[in-house]
Amino acid sequence: MYQSCAVFQTLLLTLCLGFSLKTGQCLKQKYFVKSSVCEIPYINPFAADTMKDFQKRTYRECHNDSDLVTSEFDFKLNQYRLHLHKNLARRMLNGSMGNATLECKYQKISRDRINEKPDNSYSEFKSRPLPDYLLVPKHTDFMITKCYVKDQKKQLKLLQTDGLTFIEEHLQQEDQKKAYAQQQRQNPKPSVLMLGLDSTSRMNLRRAMPLVYKYVSQPGWFELQGYNKVGDNTFPNLLAVLSGHSPNTLAKMCNVSKIGCLDRVPFIWKRFKRSNYTTAFAEDCKGINTFNYLLPGFQVQPVDYYLRPFLVAIESKFPVTKNFGFPFCVGRRLSFDYVWDFGRQFVDRFVKNRNIFGFLWSNSFTHDYYTATTALEQLFLKHLHSFEASGLFEHSIVILMSDHGHRYNTLRQSASGYYEERLPMMFIYVPPWFRQQYPHLVDNLRRNRNRLSSSYDLHMTLQHLLQLESTSLADFSMKHRSVACPSCQSLLFELPVNRACQQAGIDEKWCCCHATKTLKKNGFVRTLALAVVRRMNDHLVKRNFSHICHNFTLTHVHKIVRRLEQPADDNSLEEDETVYILQFWTFPNQPRFEATVRWNHRKHKLHMDVEDLSRLNSYNGDSNCINDKIAKKYCICKDSIRTIKRTPKGTTKPTTPRKIVEQYGYFSGLK
């Protein structure tokens, strides 16, 4: 009997957590956030519609041979040393080449200081012989090694190539140690390390990486369950965290597509650097790096230790194996591992003798496939334990985060997909000494776990860590406040209980606070959907895209919901205006869209921003003809039309607009 009751309660809770949540229908409804102006419902990570397509992925090794060249840091000499393991080469050859000998060479790699866009290039130096033991020349950041087998005829055969990174000393070590020790005695400040996995909601972390979730549930960790994204994709969300800007406020400063603009942005690592922190930034998958995808990147190296030149070099020089949509193996190693090994080197070298700020970000596993995270769990857990062994958690504030949840395909189209996309994971670790010295700040962080927060609040938290004597937002100068959200504040200050999205810098499009009601498809829905598609076509003309992007034809309305109440803090809604969220498919190529729109029932007037459309399935292959970051999600290039229809016998043939209408039993005209 008790088991039956438990099953019934679970089913009831699952039903109440669908996309069309209604206020007051679930008596025992759980919430991530619950206040008079914001209710974000608890989402069950293991709901049936989410788990039906969920499967664990297998982790694949990139190589099965041993490292012929390894490096270690000699703390006495304050220099890296390379070791050449000839004995391992003999085992690898297994006597197959008789009296063959091993010859290795190394080649220094550095940032290209001449190229107009140095982020897209690298400098390589003359190849030199590698002896059995080599003290790495100082001021060497990166290196590529190649080991050859030389047979009796003196012919060389490449046996192994590898890439190595070095965290070299840029400052006088003893002076730095003394300054650090004095500061920690007088006014201690924590080091800060930010660890990011792209496209990972807090629900998917629990679902796909339960052991990692268990790790970040230990004492000292705080999960921000009301953390809501502020933009569509990676760039606006990380821009908010790292600079306090939105794309709109940044546009008033400079054109981000122009060379030099990103160098002018007040990234938080600049303030950490001015406060005598040593800084680092590493990100995998060079093609989609946050500040390089359809952007020119940085002209001036942004931080002290920057992985980008090495990443560009190895993806150009090494064999690249793709898996889960992006570079998986780059040479002998995981693309993912280059980032975290670089981060561990950085922590190993400095965390015990100076303040550090590091930002480590990975795209390779998690960007396109939400189940791929399962293959990553043991490896990522290993890196967390490695950071722990290095003393990171004794000295540092550690932030495990994402930019947003999964935005496409299966998970996004589940009942909880709306929330999955908008609620990225956010965990903050506070070391014991900080908890002891600043208990009031930690108490505030604890209270904020279930209050609405945003990327701009995280930015203000980073600002706060550099002026811990502050007692309120009023103590921050205007240059240290978020430009895009002046009312946003540090998570180490208590956030208002009744906080609305507008106060947190979250646009209505991304706000998870308001209950909705699913509507039946009727004549009004048809009118609204046609108006949306007409606006999309008008937008193509307005942006001068109509010559390369195909016009849209509506084929199907999947779902429409109405916001049950107007946000109390939003004065932009007109009288008789209602907010609707519409999911619909169009022709050609059957893209799936979600639009948050306003409809004035008295004036029969639509208010929407086409640039804010969400794409619910991947646009890979649809928009290669265009380089506009935002337009890529909705442009269907005329040279990429590939829509097909399956016949009853399983064959395929092109589908015309008329047959699309017949197939869906819906409408296509825009008149």
In the chain (671 residues long), the average pLDDT of successive 10-residue segments reads 42 44 52 95 93 87 92 90 88 65 94 94 96 92 94 81 92 64 76 97 96 98 98 96 98 96 98 96 94 96 98 96 86 95 96 95 88 91 97 97 91 90 98 97 98 98 97 96 97 97 95 92 94 97 96 96 72 79 95 95 92 91 91 95 54 41 36 24
Question: Is there a single domain that holds both residue 256 and residue 397?
Answer: yes
The residue among 635, 581, 627 whose CA lies nearest residue 611 is: 635
User: Which pair of tokens denotes residue 95?
Assistant: 């006597």
Token pair 């001068």 is at which residue? Answer: 544
Enumerate the β-bridge partners of residue 606.
599
Q: Judge whether 159 and 68 are in contact, CB under 8 Å.
A: yes
Q: Judge whether 226 and 435 are in contact, CB under 8 Å.
A: no
Q: Judge whether 551 and 513 are in contact, CB under 8 Å.
A: no
Question: Residue 106 domain-assigned?
Answer: yes
Which regions of 373-416 does DSSP assign to beta strands (E)? 396-401
Question: Is there a single domain that holds both residue 438 and residue 584?
Answer: no
User: How far is the C-alpha of 271 from the C-alpha of 261, rounded, in Å?
Assistant: 18
User: How far is the C-alpha of 347 from the C-alpha of 391, rounded, in Å?
Assistant: 8
Q: Judge whether 657 and 669 are in contact, CB under 8 Å.
A: no
Report the amino acid identity of residue 123.
S
Question: Is there a single domain that holds both residue 267 and residue 132?
Answer: no
Question: Residue 55 domain-assigned?
Answer: no
Q: Judge whether 392 and 377 are in contact, CB under 8 Å.
A: no
Question: Residue 210 domain-assigned?
Answer: yes
Question: Residue 374 domain-assigned?
Answer: yes
Question: Is there a single domain that holds both residue 199 and residue 337?
Answer: yes
Question: Residue 382 domain-assigned?
Answer: yes
CATH number at 291 reads 3.40.720.10
User: Which pair of tokens denotes residue 131?
Assistant: 């002896």
> What burial letters (b/e) apply to 173-190, b meaning 16+ CB within 10 Å?
eeebeebbeeeeeeeebb
User: How far is the C-alpha of 14 from the C-alpha of 46, rounded, in Å?
Assistant: 9
User: Which pair of tokens denotes residue 671?
Assistant: 């008149």
The residue among 511, 612, 491 whose CA lies nearest residue 569 is: 511
User: How far is the C-alpha of 528 from the C-alpha of 599, rounded, in Å?
Assistant: 8
Question: Is there a single domain that holds both residue 480 and residue 571?
Answer: no
User: How far is the C-alpha of 222 from the C-alpha of 603, rounded, in Å?
Assistant: 48
Q: Which helix (H) or strand (E) holds 212?
A: helix 210-215
Cis peptide before 210 (omega within 30 of 0): no
Question: Is there a single domain that holds both residue 137 and residue 256?
Answer: no
Question: Is there a single domain that holds both residue 244 and residue 154?
Answer: no
DSSP 475: G
CA 76 distance to own-chain centroid = 39
Question: Is there a single domain that holds both residue 228 and residue 111?
Answer: no
Q: Judge whether 657 and 642 are in contact, CB under 8 Å.
A: no
Q: In this predicted structure, what is the pLDDT of residue 369?
A: 82
Cβ neighbors of 430 (< 8 A, separation 6 or more) are 220, 222, 397, 442, 445
Residue 7: Cβ within 10 Å count: 10
Question: Is there a single domain that holds both residue 460 and residue 599?
Answer: no
Question: Residue 602 domain-assigned?
Answer: yes
Q: In this predicted structure, what is the pLDDT of residue 302?
A: 98
User: How far is the C-alpha of 513 from the C-alpha of 607, rounded, in Å?
Assistant: 21
Residue 467, phi then psi, degrees to nearest 5: -145, 70
Domain of residue 85: give its range.
69-165
Question: Residue 135 domain-assigned?
Answer: yes
Question: Is there a single domain that holds both residue 326 and residue 447?
Answer: yes
CA dihedral 657, 658, 662, 665 (to 10 degrees): 70
Question: Is there a single domain that holds both residue 383 and residue 429?
Answer: yes
In 18-140, which residue ranges form alpha helices assigned H by DSSP?
A: 48-51, 86-93
Please count the structural domains in the chain. 3
Residue that finishes a domain, picked among 139, 165, 191: 165
Question: Is there a single domain that holds both residue 328 and residue 307?
Answer: yes
The residue among 519, 523, 517, 518 whose CA lies nearest residue 666 is: 523
Question: Residue 45 domain-assigned?
Answer: no
User: How far is the C-alpha of 634 from the C-alpha of 221, rounded, in Å?
Assistant: 39
User: How far is the C-alpha of 640 from the C-alpha of 642, rounded, in Å?
Assistant: 6
Residue that finishes a domain, picked among 457, 485, 504: 504
User: How far is the C-alpha of 640 from the C-alpha of 622, rounded, in Å?
Assistant: 6
CA dihedral 126, 127, 133, 137 (to 10 degrees): 20
User: Which pair of tokens denotes residue 83?
Assistant: 């070791």
Residue that finishes a domain, picked among 489, 504, 519: 504
CA 73 distance to own-chain centroid = 31
Enumerate the β-bridge partners of residue 81.
72, 135
User: Which pair of tokens denotes residue 201?
Assistant: 């909601």
Sheet with strand 79-84: strands edge to edge: 69-74, 79-84, 133-135
DSSP 242: H
Q: Judge whether 311 and 365 are in contact, CB under 8 Å.
A: no
> Secondary structure of 486-505 in the HEC alphabet?
CCCCCCCCCCCCCCCHHHHC
The three-state secondary structure class of 449 is helix
